[in-house]
Amino acid sequence: MAGRGGPGAAGARIASAAVALLIALAAAEGAVRLLGLAPEVKLIDVQKDDSVYKRSTNPILGFELKESWSDPAAELVTSYPSTNSYGQRDRERSLEKPPGTRRILVLGASVVEGFGIRDLEDTVCGQLEAMEGPNVEVLNFGVSAYCTRAKVELLKVKGLAFEPDEVVLFFTQNDFHNFNHEAFALGSPIDRPRFVEDLYVHSHLFRTLATRLNWFWFGAQVDPTGWNRKAIGDDNVVDGFRLLRELAEEHGFRPVVALWPRFTDDAVLDPNVMPDGETPVAERLARAAGLPSFRFSPGFRLHRDALGESVNPRLQYTLGDRLHPNPEGCWVAATILMQELDVLRAEDAPLPSPSSDETAAAVARRLGEDEPHPWRITVNLGNTLLQQGRHDEAIEQFRAALAQKPDLAEAHVNWGIALKSQGDLPGAMTQYVKALEIAPDLPDAHYNLGVALAEQGRRERAVQALRRALELRPGFPAAQAALAALTATPERAASP
Amino acid sequence: MAFLRRTLLIALALAVALVLLIVALDFFGAQPQPFQYILH
């Protein structure tokens, strides 16, 4: 028999500790289940390999574009035809700047990224590069939904390596949000072992701890904007501008903040102005940070004046959504940007000294109080399921999204599409009509209603709906095709 | 018998510590959103 301090006693102690640990884990598992502490998990096996975005390991970025992406059939919302090997929606670039080349790096969100635009040559960066000539490279560093701080973070972690001579920051509405809207359900940035995923699903204790402590990135996955918002802080525009100015001084590039306007049916406006005047909040903050800035709005107004007063800025310059430029909008923006950069170069003035503007900072803080919208993920998840032909599951998501946000017209439209795919045409039409009650100007709802009416043989009303869709979104290819098919075929009697 | 009692006591202490840790994490603001999807 071994003595008290012998190997036998040590073995017994280890065994005791191991048994104690097992019992403790089992007891804690029971307690967590009893108290209901673990977050609910809903297993939906959706392949997200078709998204151009991936979750980032950098909490300020939250998500990034995937590198060397190729998708010829990209639908230009969750996917683009290509990205380069550095993960930018841009043509391939060398890290090292070619001798005699001037590099303009453009930071931005979806406006710069080219949301809804298929050809790189049609984006603002593509058109500016063509205008500037052979010795100038214009690097597209746009990533949808990035706020100011995230845009500057992307410059810091990726962009500086390209040695830019000029950095333009496109400032849009989402810059004020102190988080990056994550609109798509994204997987984990790391591949987890299968047993870890199983453990997460089956053990409440592990799920509770892994979620709260972000083990294996479960925390980030469960609350994607929470960790992003925490890393970004409450003053993202002020912090982002300050960092941009510091980086400009440190790395010797010329920075400029470019204020993107809003295009309504009769005007080109600067959104988010100070309460007591017409100065955009971002312009005040840029000045305070010691950064030059300019507005796109006067250039667009001049262009519109040349075309004539009857021109509708929303339809002339955007995809119809008042924000994202169409190829013509990109061309005008590139022209304005080239002129503004020429002026800045000609002036060659040193950066003004930074100061403080507490009033503007307070307004920006208020504008940044918007909450993340989980329904965006839910509705996009529904769309993915719909694309995969999983109609019941898709409908469940649209229902959930509408429970979170009842005026979500697009969820009604897609719910209708799911019902129609199941053969429930009247049910589908009810959903389209509900969508139009919420958003009478939604072209997709008019289009789908038109197609459904055509299928019912109600030709006249179908033509009306399709024409309305085309009025609201000129060049809407599906609506054009449906209308052409409908007007080319002889009228047939309505189905009994 | 003493061995068993000691083991159970340690187990109880560990279990309580774990649950308290979770509650403390919630208290300090680490509580996540109540639902989410796991996508494989």
- pLDDT score of A255: 98
Question: Are B14 and A20 an interchain contact pair (Cβ–Cβ within 8 Å)?
Answer: yes
C-alpha distance from residue A247 to each of A96, A112, A166, A278 (Å): 19, 21, 12, 30
Q: Which residues of A touch B14 (CB under 8 A)?
A: 20-21, 24-25, 28
- pLDDT score of A17: 87
Per the document, the length of chain A is: 496
Task: Tell me which residues of chain A, numbers 307 to 326, contact chain B at a CB-CB cutoff of 8 Å.
Answer: none
| Helix extents (H) in A5-52 | 7-35
Interface membership of B30 toward A (CB under 8 Å): yes
List, as one string, the DSSP characters of A349-398: PPPPPP---HHHHHHHHHHTTPPP-HHHHHHHHHHHHHHTT-HHHHHHHH
**pLDDT 10s digits, A66-108:** 999 999 988 888 889 999 999 999 999 999 999 999 999 999 9
The answer to whether the CB of A178 falls within 8 A of the CB of A234 is: yes
The rounded distance, in Å, linking the Cα atoms of A380 and A406 is 16
The rounded distance, in Å, linking the Cα atoms of A190 and A184 is 17
Q: What is the ipTM of this complex?
A: 0.81
The rounded distance, in Å, linking the Cα atoms of A378 and A402 is 9
Interface membership of B28 toward A (CB under 8 Å): no
Residue A381 pLDDT greater than 90, yes or no: no
Which two three-digit tokens encode residue A331?
């061309």
- pLDDT score of B29: 63
Q: Which of B7, B23, B35 sits opposite A42 (nearest CB)?
A: B35
The answer to whether the CB of A32 falls within 8 A of the CB of A208 is: yes
Element (H, E) at A103: strand A102-108
The answer to whether the CB of A257 falls within 8 A of the CB of A286 is: yes
A403: amino acid identity, one letter: A
A42 strand-pairing partners: B37
Q: Give the confidence band of A459 by pLDDT, cuts at 50, 70, 90.
A: very high
- pLDDT score of A449: 96
Interface membership of B6 toward A (CB under 8 Å): yes
CA A111 to chain centre: 10
A398 strand-pairing partners: none
How many residue pairs bridge chain A and chain B with CB atoms within 8 Å of each other?
108
Question: Are B39 and A223 an interchain contact pair (Cβ–Cβ within 8 Å)?
Answer: no
Question: Are B32 and A211 an interchain contact pair (Cβ–Cβ within 8 Å)?
Answer: yes
β-pair type (A63-65, A53-55): antiparallel
Interface membership of B20 toward A (CB under 8 Å): no
| Helix extents (H) in A368-476 | 374-387, 391-404, 409-421, 425-438, 443-455, 459-472
Spatial CA neighbour of A258 closest among A70, A119, A109: A109
Element (H, E) at A87: none
Question: Are A27 and B11 an interchain contact pair (Cβ–Cβ within 8 Å)?
Answer: yes
Interface membership of A51 toward B (CB under 8 Å): no
The answer to whether the CB of A449 falls within 8 A of the CB of A436 is: yes
Question: Are B39 and A27 an interchain contact pair (Cβ–Cβ within 8 Å)?
Answer: no
**pLDDT 10s digits, A198-246:** 999 899 999 989 988 888 888 877 777 778 888 899 999 999 999 999 9
Residue B32 pLDDT greater than 60, yes or no: no
**Best mutation site among A13, A204, A211, A230 for testing chain B: the one with the most B CBs within 10 Å?**
A211
- pLDDT score of B36: 55
Q: Closest approach of chain B CAs to the CA of A146, in angstroms?
A: 22
Question: Are B32 and A223 an interchain contact pair (Cβ–Cβ within 8 Å)?
Answer: yes
The rounded distance, in Å, linking the Cα atoms of A455 and A61 is 46
**Percent of chain A beyond pLDDT 90?**
66
- Max mean pLDDT range (A56-60, A216-220, A304-308): A304-308
Burial of A495 (0-12, 13-18, 19+ CB in 10 A): exposed
Q: Which residues of A touch B10 (CB under 8 A)?
A: 16-17, 20, 24
Question: Are A222 and B32 an interchain contact pair (Cβ–Cβ within 8 Å)?
Answer: yes
**pTM score of the predicted model:** 0.80
- pLDDT score of A212: 85
Region label for A87, one of left (φ > 0), alpha (ψ between -120 and 50) or beta (otherwise): left
Helix axes A409-421, A374-387, angle to 10 degrees: 20
Q: Which residues of B touch A186 (CB under 8 A)?
A: 39
Q: Give the confidence band of A360 by pLDDT, cuts at 50, 70, 90.
A: very high
The rounded distance, in Å, linking the Cα atoms of A412 and A225 is 25
Q: Give the confidence band of A297 by pLDDT, cuts at 50, 70, 90.
A: very high
- pLDDT score of A496: 34
Q: Where are the beta strands (DSSP E) in A226-364?
A: 254-259, 262-263, 268-269, 293-295
The rounded distance, in Å, linking the Cα atoms of A91 and A220 is 31
Per the document, the length of chain B is: 40
Residue A181 pLDDT greater than 60, yes or no: yes
**pLDDT 10s digits, A393-445:** 999 999 999 998 999 999 999 999 999 999 999 999 999 999 999 999 999 99
Residue A183 pLDDT greater than 80, yes or no: no
Q: Which residues of B touch A20 (CB under 8 A)?
A: 7-8, 10-11, 14
- pLDDT score of A454: 94
Q: Give the confidence band of B39 by pLDDT, cuts at 50, 70, 90.
A: low
